[in-house]
Structure 1
């Protein structure tokens, strides 16, 4: 019977420190950690889920560290339940080894999903209001300095060599679509 901890932060600026302190209080035998935004695959979590077996426990600091959506969270906890793995969320005070813990988990998971949807909605409303007010959103048009250098290099190679488009993509280290974009910007093609 092993106790595993799982920590996740969304951005490089965030630290594992507070999560590490809480997990250490639960005497985790091994802690998995990763930096992963909302869309990137979580390799460490997948590795952890692959080794959990009956009698083990999985400890996280908060529900949102384990699952990004209610569906994902419920799916993971169901998988843990099927394998006989206990799930503990420290801050949410959830321990699925008890019936009240399982009930509380479902209530908290639904509330977490509700909060996430509200945040997404408020963000969208704010962006819509900014657009209506005439504010420019997003990155400034044009190429970054790095992209400008690559575009110049790509155009020079295109004009002065007999490399194929595929070879140029490999040399410049860009996709075919990006290469064509660079060549159009630099006037090498129309």
Structure 2
């Protein structure tokens, strides 16, 4: 079973999208949904980005040979939650210091990355990354900052996986770290 290209959604005017990769996408989606459910989140979906083949499927991506990352797209209301806030949460909820790895999950599909949608997102991503690298992660951030490429929705059974499979696999690197606010 293969994935499908992202389908346009009926979203409220002004909705924006953030795309991040932080290891196993099940836990990333679950944490973002819990954190922002009533704070501006319209939707979140898991999928694949950054690879070399068209129409990747889960098994192919998990092989590590397609170059895709397991990723999350967050569709949000920028009047309720800022892109900066989403990225700060991203850096709190996973370990961005290991290249191509989150806990026991190893491979390029588990890399830490921010895929920006426009020049403003790139600017914010670089600024936030620079600050958390200096203030929280002490110079060890390995997160890639890349332009958005082609996004592929993951198969339906991966969407809201942890909600639909309570007690299923959770990456031990996915938990909320308690860092002080970022100093401007």
Same fold (TM over 0.5): no
TM-score (norm 1): 0.26
Select the structure that is richer in strand. Answer: 2
Which of structures 1 and 2 has the bigger CA Rg? 1
With normalisation by structure 2, the TM-score equals: 0.26
Which structure carries more helix by proportion?
Answer: 1
